[in-house]
A and B are shown apart, each in its own frame.
Chain A
Amino acid sequence: MSSSIASDYIGVPTPLAAFGGDGPAPVRIVVGYGFWIFLLSDIIMFSALFAAYAVLSGQTDGGPTGHSLFELKHVAIETLCLLFSSYTCGLGSLFIERRRLKPFFVLFAATFALGAIFLSLEFSEFAGMLAQGAGPSRSAFLSSFFSLVGLHGAHVTVGLLWLAFMMAQVAARGPREFVLRRILCFSLFWHALDIIWVAVMSLVYLMGARI
């Protein structure tokens, strides 16, 4: 009976449950879906800054260009940090759903460490650019660069705080349902940041280093 979802709706070939025709969904689905909508709106906000950067990337006002400022070795390390932290975050959320706390803590601590390495690299890059006089007020190119990459960095900072909070909450309250829902939202957030970084890496750094 349960093998065919549509069996009690004769003549309806698709499973109606997939289209929300069956009353309230479980809380986990509602929460996850709502957070998914938030993430998409966050990505739309990023898209405005991406558009600004794409329009303004050539407007250097005689100042430093991306080619002279960006160090691709740093960018490669930053990319690897975020990619592997996405991986450890995914595995960690897998283990917490199976109520296995030890591997969860190890993997989320690794996620935190990789995210912190990413942030410190980004801070040292920004500090180096400011020291060269290539701050956000130098040219339209640098204004849009700092707002786009800085906003991503701010998201990573918030993500790290959230991550530490979730580890503390698991330690204090155990793997209860509401804690697991928050970890689901956190891992969605962290994966979305990695997706945005792919666009930053390609458009800002790899294209910018060529100009």
Chain B
Amino acid sequence: MIDSPRHSSATDLAPGDRQSQSASIATYTVGLGFALLLTAASFIVSQAHLLWEPGVAVGLAVLAIAQMGVHLVFFLHLNSGPDNTNNVLALAFGILIVTLVVSGSLWIMANLNGNMIPHSVLMEMQR
């Protein structure tokens, strides 16, 4: 019997589709629990003096990235399976561009700021 695998629905997944239908309510609930924990942790880190002051930004960034990961895995059902390769590759490209835009802007603007002639000196020069 020829059971062609190429037309079975299990060989590719649309983004947001899940592998098995049975476990998915549990998946969403676990994801909600993780997201609530991480949100609570973000608020606590930003308000209570738990972390060394300059480290708070890093702590918040780590918690935010972790929560985005939780959303991607538990709500959007992205995983490392072969049927998800295209979705994950597109996401990886998106993350690359976002990283370039954000870190590049911050880097360039900080550099410009550092090289700027102070306002008072500029006024002197224009006299």
Contact = CB atoms under 8 A, between A and B. Distances in A.
B15 A36 contact: yes
B97 A195 contact: no
B60 A202 contact: yes
B5 A51 contact: no
B28 A91 contact: yes
Most A CB atoms within 10 A — which of B5, B24, B29, B97? B5
B43 A72 contact: yes
A157 interface: no
A127 interface: no
Interface in B64-120: 64, 67-68, 71-72, 75-76, 82-83, 85-87, 90-91, 93-94, 97-98, 101-102, 104-106, 109
A2 B3 contact: yes
Interface stretch (A10-18, A117-125, A169-177): A10-18
B9 interface: yes
Nearest to B45: A206
A130 interface: no
Contact of B11 (A5, A35, A98, A209): A5
Contacts of B90: 33, 36-37, 40
Contact of B5 (A5, A72, A84, A184): A5
Given A17-B5, A22-B6, A194-B75, A79 B46 contact: no
Interface in B21-78: 21, 24-25, 28-29, 31-32, 35-36, 39, 42-43, 46-47, 56-57, 60-61, 63-64, 67-68, 71-72, 75-76
B75 A86 contact: yes
Interface residues of A, number: 61
B86 A20 contact: yes
A194 to B, nearest CB: 6
B14 A29 contact: yes
B5 to A, nearest CB: 5
Contacts of A97: 21
Contact of B24 (A40, A41, A94, A202): A94
A87 B21 CA distance: 16
Interface string A28-62: 11011101110011011001101110110000000
**4 closest pairs, A vs B, by CB?**
A32-B14, A17-B11, A40-B94, A51-B105
Interface of B: 1-3, 5-6, 8-9, 11-17, 21, 24-25, 28-29, 31-32, 35-36, 39, 42-43, 46-47, 56-57, 60-61, 63-64, 67-68, 71-72, 75-76, 82-83, 85-87, 90-91, 93-94, 97-98, 101-102, 104-106, 109
